Every structure is written in structure tokens, then in C-alpha cells.
Structure 1
Amino acid sequence: MDFVAPESPQEKAVTLTSGNFWPAINTAEFREQMRIDGTVTQKRLLPALKNALIETHRILFQWQQQEQRLGYTTLDSIPAQTIQEGDLRESELVYLHRRAVFCLAKASLTERYRDIDTTPNGSKKADALDPTIDDLQRDATWAMQRIQGTTHNIVELI
């Protein structure tokens, strides 16, 4: 049995911002929460996070506009339940935003990295990742629906 220790990232953490309304996203926090090791370089990680921010904010654009018309200038200023962890208090909306972005970025990275091993075993591993990618996309969708105050029903016509 071979064991390969995951590489730790060598790059400095980067903070991504997307306007004043949305909270910043930190690459180190993303790596830690989503278990992304150093095999995913910063040059590949950043586009995945940027795309996830773009997709999340496009889906939430009309909702954001509505909240801004009500006078809320940041996501954190919107009245919402808070989650307390020790001395840290966080709006559930901020948490859900981060969850949506992180899940979309991880799904994108998983889709792209599953083709590294092209042996028959690698093909089986890639097929096994499909449910994980679907789960991440579902979790992102649910987080965005919760932010908008809607239920997370997904209906597909067959």
C-alpha cells in the first residue's frame, strides 16, 4: 500500500473581494474548510474561487438589489440569525454565502482534478467523484436559496 502525504500549500493566503456588499473570501480558509491541499496550486485555486463568486453573485443579484433598495449596504447588515462559536458571532447569511462560494469552487476543482490518474483504477475513482460533485453543487444551491428565503426544492422534468 502506497501512502502519499498531501502537500501543504506554499503560497500566501489571498483575500478576494467582490464589491462592498459581499463579504471577502480567504483562500487559506477555503483550503482548510474544504480540505484542499497544496496539490491544487494557487493559479488553479483562484480562478475556481473567482468563478464561484461570479456565479453566486449572479444568482443572488436580484435579491441583492432588493436588499440594497431596503437600505442594507452589506450582507452582514441584513437582519438574520447569528451563529456563535466561542467569542465569534456570524450572520447566518454570511455563513451561507461562504458555503455557496466554497461548494461551487470545490465542485469545479473536483471536476478538473479527477482526470489526473488515467489508469483503469483512475477511471473508477473519477466516476466515484460524480456524486461528490453533485452534492457540492446541491449544497451551494441550497445555501443560495436559504439566503433568498426560499425553500430548497429542486424539480427536474424527466
Structure 2
Amino acid sequence: MKKVFLYLPCVLLILVALSQIYITQTNGLLTPAKGGGFGMFSTVDKLNNRVVIVSGVFDKREVKIKVNTNDPFFKKFLEKEWQKARAYPSNSNLRELGKTLGKLKLSKTPDYIKIQVKKCVFDNQTASIAYETVNELSMPYRQTRK
């Protein structure tokens, strides 16, 4: 029985490592650096290389909405949800960001808001860098108060 307790921490650490590797390699939501560091030096998919793109849909026409990340309004109301969505762009994190984006003052109110998170990928064949979509979500835009 003592041997079981002796090996239990090793088994748990191996299970955690394997689950982190699985999550980073299958759905792409988690960066290798955030996934326990496994493969963090072998990819350009780092948190700083991920991009969040916000678009408004006005009468079936999509228009990008510029979100100034240096604005004090952004720092106060949006930064936390923005970083969560960029680090782990699950549908629930994108939905929370979409709700928080309702605090933006826009000149025209969109019918829908579309949020995309893209990651940086390196193509060995052409030696070029491109962005591919990790996840995207469209939802009705709801203006909210501060």
C-alpha cells in the first residue's frame, strides 16, 4: 500500500501533462506555452501572437470595430475579458467578451457582433507567417450600461 502512495504523485503529474498536451494539440484553444509549457519553444503560437478581431454586422454588412487597447475605458471594463478570450477562446469566454463589449459607445448600433480569435502559424513550405482562426462567435449586440 505504501508503494501506491509513493507513485501516486508521479502518476498524477503524468496525467496532467498528457491532458495539457492533448488540449493544445486537438482543439487549439490553449497555446502550448499555457498548456504547461510543452512545446512552447517549437511554435509561434504564443499569447502575444494571438489576435482578437471584433466586427459589427450592420444590415448583413460586416464592419471591423477598432478597439483601442490603450484606452483607459478598455483597461477599466474590457481588458480582463479580452485577455481571457485571447488566452483560451472557448465559446463561453467569447460570449462573456461579447457581453462586455456592450459597454462600448458606438456611433451606430450593430445587429450582431462577431468576435474572432486568430493564432499565428508558420508555413515551412513557403517560409511565411499567416493567421488562422482558432474560434469565432457571432451574437446579438446588446448595449449595456457601465
> Larger helix proportion, structure 1 or 2?
1
Q: Same fold by TM (over 0.5)?
A: no
Structure with the greater alpha carbon radius of gyration = 2
> Larger strand proportion, structure 1 or 2?
2
Q: TM-score, normalised by structure 2?
A: 0.35
Of structures 1 and 2, the one with the larger relative CO (CA 8 A, separation 6+) is: 2
